[in-house]
Amino acid sequence: MALVTDETNSFITTRIGGAGWGQTVGDARLDRDNSGASVVVAVSAAIAFPDDYSADPATGVCVQFVAVDTGSGGGDVYVIYGLMAPTASVAIDLNIGSGYGLGNIDVTSLQLSGPAASCRLLAGAAASGQVYRSPDGGASWLRSAKEPTGQAQTYLLMAPDFITGGKAYAATSGSGSAFSVTVDGGATWNQIGLIDTAISSIVDLAVSPNYDQDSSLFMLTWGSQFSLWRSLDGGASWQRVFSSSLAGVDSLDLVQLAPGYGGGHQVVFVAGSGGGAPAIWKSADNGQSFIGRSVPLPVDQWLVTSDTSLFLSGFDGGNGLVFSTTNSGLIYSSSVVGSHPLTSLALSPNYGQDGVVLAGNANGWVYWSNDRGASFESLPPGAVLPPLSGNISVAFDPQFSGNSTIYAASDAPDAGIYRFVIGSSTGWQGIDGSLPSGGMVGGLAISAEGTLYAANFQQVDTANQKGGLERSLNPAHPLGATFETVIRGLDDGATLWGLWLHGHQIWSIDTTKMVSYNKP
């Protein structure tokens, strides 16, 4: 079987045994939109046979499919019904893009599985990374909700058990091109190799609350594009599940998992911008598919408190603002928090009961709310001048419900780490007496047992015991906390940013070498 063209019309023609072309099965002329308009296949064609194909028209299953790339946008997928020569066979334009307002689509690749009447089809676009899929022999078509990344020439290959397993592969070309996989019949695709992107920085990290059981990590990176990566084996291997090479995605800045992540509740949130405006995206299926929502301002900081509830902070040029939503971003309420951008947010360990939220800003202020973010006041109350300096990170003591103790860290040189007891302190107490000279700390994290950690933004200098982590086993000790500088296992020159804690494991990003450290 061959697709041929005389540069005016194109035909499917068949040769069986020693008979000539078109002498057993009649030739089928391709008509654009079944209107009689000629089609010239100037670039390529792909022919696919159903499982029950027969070369004998008398059987009634002399049926095949062909995809054509005209090079000018006039292609499509056709079904061919073979008839006994000299009767012409019938070619029907399936108009795979009609559901999306597209008359014709050039198609590079075509794959199918199953008998003609009910076969599953995948068609790869020639001018994009999009894949069109049909579950019913070409009667209806959907395009991928999350397509393979790339700009052109989407080639496809179905796994032998595609009908039951839903697995297929795609290879694309152009910016963002990659080798991608689908496990849901073509609805969503992830990149697993040969990815045309660079990684020049790690932007953010999210660790599963059930890491001991599921070993799940999500990582945001920037290079030639923003990319969200997912690992289900503790970082040994990664798939790219979302990126700014997809339509409607401009940038990706933050990633966070819902507190109940795991099992049947694998909710992932990403913040960034799309279509030139601030946006967040939510996935309820572990990053396989995302739904985007607009947000009032670019997201500086955020907290995910449930599968549907979030706190977001932004800056309107004159005020720090905290927005809250309980319906995944459909509706927001807001409150003013100082006059500078917020640099950190934290929830009380007993937020469900006490509704307490902390916020630190870029000008040395700490604020708290005891009404679930509806209003905030400064700490200490009534302060006229900033009690601290620099960008502030905040954290709660795990025994906050009993000791009302909170912590703050400043990234100003030599500023250090502070403690405050709500209801009794009149000012912030500096508690880190071992901070190396010139130390700048932030990214507070505290374990369930009460160990407090902070990243020192200095470069690691093992000879002078600088950089790395600041750690206190009992920062709430009434007679004074004891801190130590931890640099063992870190390379000289490493610059840590951010801390993510789970159980007895802690993660941080080295912004010098762009690697992540995992310290048990």
Span 371-387, pLDDT tens digits: 999 999 999 999 999 99
pLDDT at 180: 98
Q: Tell me the pLDDT band of 92, cut-offs 50, 70 and 90.
A: very high
Q: How far is CA 216 from CA 170, 219, 345, in A?
A: 25, 10, 24
Per DSSP, the three-state class of 240 is: strand
Q: Taking residues 224-247, what's their average pLDDT?
A: 96
Q: Taking residues 127-144, what's their average pLDDT?
A: 97
Q: How far is CA 30 from CA 80, 86, 236, 369, 484, in A?
A: 9, 17, 50, 69, 77
Q: In the predicted model, is pLDDT for residue 336 greater than 80?
A: yes
Residues in the chain: 520
Q: In the predicted model, is pLDDT for residue 517 greater than 90?
A: no
Q: In the predicted model, is pLDDT for residue 333 greater than 60?
A: yes
pLDDT at 512: 87
Whether residue 379 contacts residue 359, with contact meaning beta carbons closer than 8 Å, is answered with no
Per DSSP, the three-state class of 480 is: coil
Q: Tell me the pLDDT band of 88, cut-offs 50, 70 and 90.
A: very high
User: Of 291, 50, 285, nearest to 184 (Cα)?
Assistant: 285
Separation of alpha carbons 496 and 279, rounded Å? 28
Class of residue 514 by CB neighbours under 10 A (exposed 0-12, middle 13-18, buried 19+): middle
Span 253-279, pLDDT tens digits: 999 999 999 878 899 999 999 999 999
Produce one character per residue of 356-380: b if its CB has 16 or more CB atoms within 10 Å, e if not.
Answer: bbbbbbbbbbbbbbeebbeebebbe
Span 420-470, pLDDT tens digits: 999 999 999 999 988 999 999 999 999 999 999 999 999 999 999 999 999
pLDDT at 434: 86
Q: Tell me the pLDDT band of 327, cut-offs 50, 70 and 90.
A: very high
pLDDT at 480: 87
Q: In the predicted model, is pLDDT for residue 301 greater than 90?
A: yes
Q: Taking residues 219-227, what's their average pLDDT?
A: 95
pLDDT at 433: 87
DSSP readout, 280-310?
EEEESBTTSS-EEEE-SS--SEEEE-SSS-E
Q: Taking residues 50-56, what's their average pLDDT?
A: 95
pLDDT at 195: 95
In the chain, what are the domain boundaries?
Answer: 2-193, 337-520
Q: In the predicted model, is pLDDT for residue 516 greater than 60?
A: no
Alpha helices (runs of H) in 175-273, residue ranges in sequence order: 211-214
pLDDT at 478: 87
Question: Strand 28-29 to strand 142-143: parallel, antiparallel, or no bridges (unpaired)?
Answer: unpaired
Determine whether domain 337-520 maps to CATH 2.130.10.10.
yes
Q: In the predicted model, is pLDDT for residue 27 greater than 70?
A: yes
pLDDT at 251: 97
Produce one character per residue of 113-126: b if its CB has 16 or more CB atoms within 10 Å, e if not.
Answer: bbebeebbbbbbbb
